Amino acid sequence: MKIDSSVAMQGYEASKANRLNNLNNALSKDDKALKEQTDAFESILLKFMLDTSLNMQDPLYPKQPGSEIYQSMYKDTLAEQLSGSFGYSKALFEWIKEQQKG
């Protein structure tokens, strides 16, 4: 039995794009740059968590040449796709904006 998650991923991407579009409409140019940076920071945090949680010292299949590179690329892409949806970016963005106000 094959599980097709493409419809779910398309829906997720559409909702993420919609949230980003709504946020971008409400933000100034500086706020957009700050939001991009907080999303990038959240992506780094998620990458560290993925590195720790997906660390396979004794995998089911033996490691192939280049498998570490592909695993790293997979984790990077996954972290980038998930950034902005965990709430770290939003909390950091709001905290920085609050600090800028005084």
* Structure-model confidence comparison of residues 29 and 40, the more confident one: 40
Would 33 be classed as within a structural domain?
A: yes
Would 11 be classed as within a structural domain?
A: no
Q: 34 is in which domain, residue-wise?
A: 28-100
Q: How many CA atoms lie within 13 A of 13 on its CB side?
A: 9
Would 70 be classed as within a structural domain?
A: yes
* Structure-model confidence comparison of residues 46 and 60, the more confident one: 46
Give 22-26's long-range contacts (Cβ < 8 A, gap of 24+): none
Per the structure, the count of domains in the chain is 1
Instruction: Give the Cα separation of 90 and 85 in Å (integer).
Output: 9
Would 34 be classed as within a structural domain?
A: yes
Would 17 be classed as within a structural domain?
A: no
Across 2-17, average pLDDT: 71
Would 48 be classed as within a structural domain?
A: yes
**Residue-level pLDDT at 59:** 66
Task: Tell me if the pTM is above 0.85.
Answer: no
Would 14 be classed as within a structural domain?
A: no
pLDDT exceeds 60 at position 63 = yes
Would 77 be classed as within a structural domain?
A: yes
Across 1-18, average pLDDT: 70
